[in-house]
């Protein structure tokens, strides 16, 4: 210290601490000259003493003007040292860096100025302090004083120039520093960071691409900045890196894929678009590297397929197709279960387009990796069943395609139908709204006869009789009306002459017994008209209720459709189709006379021309009714089923034991009546006394009286064939 005081005149030291900048500047010039002389003499010990004096007495002084003088003095000393400054940098730079955090903005400003002048002298030699300088500049870029910010920007540009021309810069040491600051929100700091990333990436000898995963997330963060300039700079940097990736033979796709997947779900539209664009390129370029990330990538793509922004939707769909077209081996890290899990999760998406693509993925996996998918069947089956209730018909049809693909195996077919019936049972709205769509589609995909046989087998033993009746009625309506089931309708029409038709008829009969109208419809379809008549005659008072009449109304209207054209044409041969007439008249007698169905059926029967009856087949009554007929053929042979002559007394035909079938129907209907009485009694026991009184005052058969039913005469006898 004493040596330094003797070297620097007292007046110079006073001026160095003066409040006037000009005096401090002149003092600094004096110090520069002194140091230059010492350097020329090679007296570095005295130079060290001068630097120590400037540091301890000035830069660390509690007086702001002293600190300002100390900074300008250190810069002057460095200029005086010129080429020999490098060996004294360890003393010169730290006090300057310390001043960057000074509470006085003017001191911070002069610190920038001092370091700028120092850097101009030593250039690449001060790279050893780069991390500390970078840290200081990062803070100063957001300084509250505009002058300090301006000075820091000038210094920053100089440091960038020095780094780009230096061969001593260590990118490995710099990256951790950069990574720590990439999520800072301050816009000035963000601009500073993007600037450095861009500059370093432009240096051929610095491999910024290799370290891209370390700061990629931070760059994506900046895409949603409120400042248009920062967004633009970040986007420009990302575009440049993406171009480098396309041209690079070696890229770490995996780590970056994880970042992109997260950013694809960003609430910011521009960030999502950029992320999905990167993912699109990665899928094209990544190859085997991306196999372990397929599930994550798919999880990012599927929601974007339904994005509100069209550009994002287009890129997402293209990426989705690219990904689905890739060939991957489950033995090589391709995780079928993970992708299935993603697809299953997206089936709950609020967006229809996403749910549709998720189903396409499940279907694709089934086609490519069937055995692997079936191993995870328990994980996805319930979700697939729930998807049958989806509000979108397209989704439901795709779900059925997936189910049908699974059900190619017999055990899975049975499981599907059982689960389907279970879902119909617990969700009445599913059966009501989607039942027809589901059943018809399955019939197309899995063979209509196979589906109906399996459903019939399950419903035959159904314990919930109310559900069984509703389900059978639904299946019967589909059978009678759907074009997809035309083949099994044709087969059923041959029940009396074709063993396959007979077998199907008997198979359906067992469960169709749950509904009288379903059985009658089945008999009309199979042309077992005598049995239809017997079923109608077997109905008792308790069977004729509102539900029955509603179903009967539907049947009468269906008889007027093209599907039953054959039946209407058979009315032209009353002698041959005697039992058809009797069955139809039986239904007519069950209908309320004022109902529309009664009028429809009565009009149809009246339309039968009188010439179709010959003298032996027709006897007009005294009232002139031309529709009363005998049940004998001209030869006197007994009719068993319309159009065919009985060979066994009418008890069976083509192996069908009709008396046994009738007994089966009556037994099932008895169970339904017992069930109904039990339900009614239970309701009575749980209802209030006032409700019981109201029911007692109500008519015995309110449904029939409301529908103006005219009860058939008890004296009328069932017509017998001779």
Other C-beta atoms within 10 Å of 152: how many?
28
pLDDT band for position 636 (50/70/90)? very low
Predicted confidence at residue 705, as pLDDT, reads 30
Q: Can you tell me the mean pLDDT for 210-233? A: 93
| Lowest mean pLDDT, pick from 35-49, 458-472, 625-639 | 625-639
Q: Are 321 and 305 in contact (CB under 8 A)?
A: no
Q: How far is CA 165 from CA 161, 202, 241, 414, in A?
A: 7, 11, 22, 75
Q: Does 614 score more than 60 pLDDT?
A: no
Q: What pLDDT does residue 307 have?
A: 93
Average of per-residue pLDDT across 28-43: 89
- Under the banding of pLDDT at 50, 70 and 90, the label for residue 304 is very high
> Would strands 656-657 and 652-653 be described as parallel, antiparallel, or unpaired?
antiparallel
Please measure the distance between the N-terminal and C-terminal CA atoms of the chain and give it in whole angstroms.
144
DSSP tag of 645:
E
Residue 623 has pLDDT above 60, yes or no: no
What's the CA gap between 467 and 319, in Å, rounded?
46
295, 335 contact by CB (below 8 A): yes
Q: What percent of the chain has pLDDT over 90?
A: 61
Closest CA to 588 of 578, 602, 574: 602
Confidence of residue 613 (pLDDT cuts 50, 70, 90): low
Please give the pLDDT value at position 638.
Answer: 41
DSSP 564: G
pLDDT at 541: 85
In this model, does residue 625 exceed pLDDT 70?
no
**C-alpha 545, offset from chain centre:** 46
What is the average per-residue pLDDT within 347-365? 94
Confidence at residue 325, expressed as pLDDT on a 0 to 100 scale: 85
Q: Would you say residue 194 has pLDDT above 70?
A: yes
Write out the H or E segment, with its range, that includes residue 657.
strand 656-657
Cα(111)–Cα(105) distance, integer angstroms: 10
484 three-state secondary structure: helix
Tokens of 580: 């058809």
Q: Are 383 and 344 in contact (CB under 8 A)?
A: yes
Which residues, other chains included, contact 84 with Cβ-Cβ below 8 Å and sequence gap of 6+?
A: 39, 44
148, pLDDT greater than 90: yes
Q: Which residues pair with 657 in a beta bridge?
A: 652
Give the pLDDT band of residue 218 (cuts 50, 70, 90): very high
- For the segment 239-294, what is each residue's pLDDT rounded down to a tens digit? 999 999 999 888 888 889 999 999 999 999 999 999 999 999 999 888 778 888 89
Q: Are 297 and 286 in contact (CB under 8 A)?
A: no
- pTM recorded for the entire structure: 0.74
The C-alpha angle 538, 544, 545, rounded to 5 degrees, equals 155
Q: What is the pLDDT of residues 435-472, one digit of tens each?
A: 899 999 999 999 999 999 999 999 998 999 999 999 99
Which contiguous run of DSSP H or E holds residue 639?
A: strand 639-641
Helical spans, DSSP H, in 559-654: 565-570, 578-590, 596-606
Q: What is the mean pLDDT of residues 88-93?
A: 92
At residue 618, does pLDDT exceed 80?
no
Q: Could you tell me the pLDDT band of residue 637, with boundaries at 50, 70 and 90?
A: very low
> In sequence order, which residues have a C-beta less than 8 Å from that of residue 583 and are 6 or more positions away?
520, 523, 524, 529, 532, 533, 536
Q: How far apart are CA 78 and CA 119, in angstroms?
A: 9
Provide the mean pLDDT of the chain. Answer: 85
Among 173, 234, 256, 165, CA closest to 203? 165
Q: Please list, in sequence order, all residues whose beta carbon lies within 8 angstroms of the beta carbon of residue 712, skipping any fewer than 6 positions away.
A: 589, 590
Q: List, for residues 480-515, the tens digit of each pLDDT value.
A: 999 999 999 999 999 999 999 999 999 999 999 999
What is the distance between the alpha carbons of residues 283 and 281, in angstroms, rounded to a whole number?
A: 5
Give me 721's structure tokens: 């064939």
State pLDDT tens for residues 559-605.
999 999 999 999 999 889 999 999 999 999 999 999 999 999 999 99
State residue 348 phi and psi, 5-degree precision: -95, 5
CA dihedral 234, 239, 242, 247 (to 10 degrees): -140
The pLDDT value recorded for residue 688 is 52
What is the per-residue DSSP string for 422-433? HHHHH-HHHHHH
Summarize the chain as % helix, strand, coil (round to 5). Answer: 75, 0, 25
To the nearest 10°, the Cα dihedral for 560, 515, 663, 587?
Answer: -30
Distance of CA 370 to CAs 336, 340, 366, 674, Å? 10, 12, 4, 48
pLDDT at 33 (0 to 100): 92
Cβ(31)–Cβ(49) below 8 Å? no
Q: How far is CA 383 from CA 73, 344, 354, in A?
A: 76, 7, 15
Q: Work out whether the CA dihedral 412, 418, 422, 428 comes out positive or negative.
A: positive
Please, are residues 60 and 107 in contact by the beta-carbon 8 Å criterion? no
- H or E segment and range at residue 692: helix 689-697
Dihedral angle over CA of 688, 692, 697, 698, nearest 10 = 100
Contact partners, residue 341, CB within 8 Å, separation at least 6: 295, 379
Give me the pLDDT at residue 677, please.
87
The pLDDT score that the predictor gives to residue 687 is 63
What share of the chain in percent tops pLDDT 70? Answer: 88
Q: How far is CA 226 from CA 190, 218, 263, in A?
A: 12, 15, 17
Q: What is the Cα 345 distance to its own chain's centre?
A: 6
pLDDT at 27 over 60: yes
Higher pLDDT, 105 or 4: 105
pLDDT value of residue 175 = 93
Query: 263: closest CA among 310, 312, 229?
Result: 312
Q: How far apart are CA 327 and CA 347, in angstroms?
A: 24
> Which of 143, 227, 131, 224 minimizes the C-alpha distance to 180?
131
Q: Which helix (H) or strand (E) holds 653?
A: strand 652-653
**SS3 state at 219:** helix
Buried b (16+ CB within 10 A) or exposed e, 365-402: bbeebeebbeebeeebbebbbebbbbeeeebbbbbbbb
Report d(CA 446, CA 381) in Å as an integer: 18
Per-residue confidence band for 709, with pLDDT thresholds at 50, 70 and 90: very low
**Strand, coil or helix: 444:** helix
Task: State the pLDDT at residue 649.
Answer: 36
| Distance in angstroms (rounded) separating the CA atoms of residues 446 and 331 | 32
* Coil vs helix vs strand at 471: helix
């Amino acid at each position: 210290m004493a040596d330094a005081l003797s070297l620097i005149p007292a007046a110079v030291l006073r001026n160095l601490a003066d409040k006037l900048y000009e005096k401090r500047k002149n003092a600094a010039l004096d110090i520069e000259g002194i140091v230059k002389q010492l350097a020329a003499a090679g007296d570095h010990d005295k130079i060290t003493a001068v630097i120590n004096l400037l540091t301890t007495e000035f830069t660390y002084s509690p007086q702001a003007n002293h600190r300002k003088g100390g900074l300008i003095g250190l810069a002057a000393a460095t200029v005086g040292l010129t080429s020999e400054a490098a060996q004294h940098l360890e003393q010169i730079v730290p006090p300057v860096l310390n001043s960057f955090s000074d509470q006085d903005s003017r001191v911070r400003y002069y610190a920038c100025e001092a370091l700028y002048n120092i850097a101009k002298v030593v250039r690449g030699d001060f790279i050893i302090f780069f991390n500390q300088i970078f840290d200081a500049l990062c803070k100063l870029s957001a300084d509250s004083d505009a002058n300090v910010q301006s000075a820091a920007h000038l210094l920053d540009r100089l440091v960038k120039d020095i780094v780009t021309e230096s061969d001593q810069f260590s990118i490995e040491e710099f990256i951790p520093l950069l990574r720590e600051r990439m999520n800072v929100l301050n816009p000035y700091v963000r601009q500073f960071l993007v600037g450095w990333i861009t500059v370093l990436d432009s240096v051929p000898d610095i491999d910024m691409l290799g370290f891209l995963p370390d700061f990629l997330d931070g760059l994506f963060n900046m895409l949603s900045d409120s400042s248009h300039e920062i967004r633009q700079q970040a986007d420009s940097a990302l575009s440049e890196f993406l171009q480098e990736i396309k041209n690079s033979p070696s890229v770490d796709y995996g780590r970056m894929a994880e970042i992109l997947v997260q950013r694809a779900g960003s609430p910011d539209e521009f960030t999502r678009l950029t992320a999905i664009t990167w993912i699109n390129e990665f899928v094209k370029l990544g190859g085997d590297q991306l196999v372990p990330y397929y599930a994550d990538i798919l999880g990012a793509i599927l929601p974007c397929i339904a994005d509100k922004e069209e550009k994002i939707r287009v890129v997402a769909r293209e990426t989705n197709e690219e990904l689905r077209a890739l060939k991957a081996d489950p033995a090589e890290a391709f995780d079928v279960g993970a992708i299935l899990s993603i697809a299953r999760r997206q089936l709950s998406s609020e967006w229809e387009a996403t749910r549709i693509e998720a189903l396409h993925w499940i279907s694709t996996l089934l086609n490519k990796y069937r055995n692997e998918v079936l191993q995870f069947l328990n994980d996805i089956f319930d979700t697939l069943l729930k998807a049958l209730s989806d509000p979108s018909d397209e989704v439901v049809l795709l779900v059925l395609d997936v189910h049908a693909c699974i059900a190619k195996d017999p055990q899975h077919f049975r499981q599907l139908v059982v689960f389907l019936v279970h879902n119909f049972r617990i969700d009445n709205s599913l059966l009501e709204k989607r039942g027809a769509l589901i059943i018809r589609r399955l019939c197309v995909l899995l063979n209509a006869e196979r589906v109906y046989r399996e459903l019939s087998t399950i419903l035959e033993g159904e314990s919930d009789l109310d559900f069984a009746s509703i389900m059978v009625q639904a299946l019967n309506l589909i059978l009678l009306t759907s074009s997809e089931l035309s083949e099994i309708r044709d087969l059923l029409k041959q029940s009396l002459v074709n063993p396959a038709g007979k077998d199907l008829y008997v198979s359906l009969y067992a469960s169709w017994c749950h509904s009288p109208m379903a059985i009658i419809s089945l008999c009309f379809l199979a042309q077992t008209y005598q049995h239809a008549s017997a079923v109608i005659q077997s109905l008792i008072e308790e069977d004729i209720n509102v539900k029955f009449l509603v179903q009967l109304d539907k049947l009468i209207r269906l008889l007027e459709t093209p599907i039953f054209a054959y039946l209407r044409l058979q009315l032209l041969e009353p002698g041959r189709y005697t039992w058809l007439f009797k069955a139809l008249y039986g239904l007519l007698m069950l209908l309320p006379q004022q109902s529309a169905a009664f009028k429809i059926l009565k009009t149809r029967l009246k339309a039968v021309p009188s010439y179709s009856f010959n003298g032996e087949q027709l006897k007009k009554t005294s009232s002139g009714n031309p529709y009363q007929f005998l049940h004998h053929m001209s030869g006197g042979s007994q009719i068993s089923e319309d159009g065919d002559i009985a060979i066994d007394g009418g008890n069976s035909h083509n192996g069908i034991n009709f008396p046994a079938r009738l007994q089966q129907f009556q037994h099932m209907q008895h169970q339904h009546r017992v069930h109904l009485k039990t339900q009614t009694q239970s309701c009575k026991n749980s209802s209030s006394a006032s409700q019981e009184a109201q029911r007692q005052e109500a008519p015995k058969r309110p449904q029939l009286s409301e529908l103006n039913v005219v009860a058939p005469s008890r004296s009328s006898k069932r017509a017998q064939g001779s």
